[in-house]
């Protein structure tokens, strides 16, 4: 386990930090090895009480004490947080940033030479341990740093490594993807109501169907087209539904959603530089 015996913490103790710390505890990391710092005292009290982690008021103390620091503040605050702590990072540490749109190069400008940086784009389902995260390595990150980050993000879901120039595409697909899936689920529930089902029943069946279909793709490694073919009998109900989806342009609409979100991510990261 690449995290065994290491001190790990989050600079910024918001929703994502809470999800990551919870995932690490569930993965067997002792709460005594986990840290968090935040400007809000009530968040620190809550996280100390809820998770049993060390909660520090000082970002500097956090950075000085840890092997792995996860930068988990909003993108707009990253420059301030790094102006305060950047000079304290040492090359034997790993700095992992989850701030959307902030590049490894931007972060490295605040650090001494040789400090390894990993950038990660997680998504909101990390809160339930079902996240989809992509990570990329900065200039000085080694296999050790990539393995550390992979271990952290597989504790809260699934994780893959991509080149940094694909991080906007990841933001458009899995970063923003939960929103598309929520819209689809709401529409499926409306559809269920339209054909006579009570709303709670329609929503439960829709959500469980999405979960089941996703698990079939992930756990069988079958192509989704083949799985679709397996459930569409000649002249049957599923193919009648699929025809309506094709007529409504669902595929192109989803492709356009991902493309537009990717372009928006590019524009926003350019604005943060
Ligand atoms: N939530 C998601 O689904 C998601 C998905 C992908 C990526 N991310 C990324 O994850 C990062 C954290 O997101 P989040 O949703 O967890 O945000 P959040 O809930 O706002 O958490 C950030 C926390 O850091 C505190 N903070 C602000 N400035 C600070 C400073 N200088 N030093 C220490 N703490 C400070 C904030 O306090 P105040 O509230 O008082 O400012 C807040 O408690 C963001 O960069 C976001 O882009 C989030």
Q: Of 117, 141, 167, which residue sits at a domain end?
A: 167
Q: What is the pLDDT of residue 273?
A: 66
State whether the beta carbon of 72 lies less than 6 angstroms from ligand 1: yes
Same domain, residue pair 15 and 144: yes
Q: Roughly what angle, to the nearest 10 degrees, separates helices 250-272 and 177-194?
A: 150
Specify if 252 maps to a domain: yes
Q: Of 128, 151, 167, which residue sits at a domain end?
A: 167
For residue 144, the surrounding DSSP H or E stretch is helix 143-154
State whether the beta carbon of 77 lies less than 6 angstroms from ligand 1: yes
CATH of the domain at 155: 3.40.50.720
Give the residue numbers spanning the domain of 83. 8-167
Same domain, residue pair 163 and 258: no
Number of domains into which the chain is organized: 2
Q: Of 133, 148, 167, which residue sits at a domain end?
A: 167
The model's confidence at residue 1, banded by pLDDT at 50, 70 and 90, is: confident
Same domain, residue pair 20 and 39: yes
* Substitution site in 18, 38, 156, 173 for ligand 1 pocket (most atoms within 8 Å of beta carbon): 38
Same domain, residue pair 73 and 205: no
Kindly report, residue by residue over 105-139, the tens digit of the pLDDT. 999 999 999 999 999 999 999 989 999 999 999 99
Specify if 196 maps to a domain: yes
Rounded-to-integer distance, Cα 133 and Cα 58, Å: 28
**Which ligand 1 atom sits nearest the alpha carbon of residue 80?**
31
> How many other CB atoms are found less than 10 A from the CB of residue 6?
17
């Amino acid at each position: 386990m690449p995290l065994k015996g290491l001190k790990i913490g989050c600079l910024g103790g918001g929703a994502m930090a809470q999800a990551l710390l919870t995932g690490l505890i569930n993965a067997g990391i002792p709460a005594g090895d986990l840290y968090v710092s935040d400007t809000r005292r009530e968040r620190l009290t809550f996280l100390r009480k809820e998770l049993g982690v060390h909660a520090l008021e000082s970002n500097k103390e956090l950075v000085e004490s840890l092997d792995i620091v996860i930068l988990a503040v909003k993108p707009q605050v990253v420059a301030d947080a790094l102006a305060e702590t950047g000079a304290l990072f040492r090359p034997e540490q790993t700095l992992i940033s989850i701030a959307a749109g902030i590049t490894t190069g931007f972060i490295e400008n605040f650090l001494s030479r040789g400090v390894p940086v990993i950038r990660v784009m997680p998504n909101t389902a990390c809160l339930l341990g079902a996240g989809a995260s992509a990570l990329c390595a900065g200039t000085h990150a080694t296999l050790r740093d990539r393995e550390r980050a992979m271990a952290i993000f597989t504790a809260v879901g699934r994780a893959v490594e991509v080149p940094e120039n694909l991080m906007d595409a990841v933001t458009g697909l899995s970063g923003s993807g939960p929103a598309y899936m929520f819209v689809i689920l709401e529409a499926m529930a409306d559809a269920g109501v339209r054909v006579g089902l009570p709303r709670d029943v329609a929503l439960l069946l829709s959500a469980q169907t999405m979960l089941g279909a996703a698990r079939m793709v992930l756990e069988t490694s079958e192509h989704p087209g083949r799985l679709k073919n397996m459930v569409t009998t000649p002249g049957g109900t599923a193919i009648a539904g699929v025809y309506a989806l094709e007529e409504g342009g669902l595929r192109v609409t989803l492709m356009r959603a991902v493309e537009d979100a990717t372009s928006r991510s590019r524009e926003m990261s350019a604005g943060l530089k």
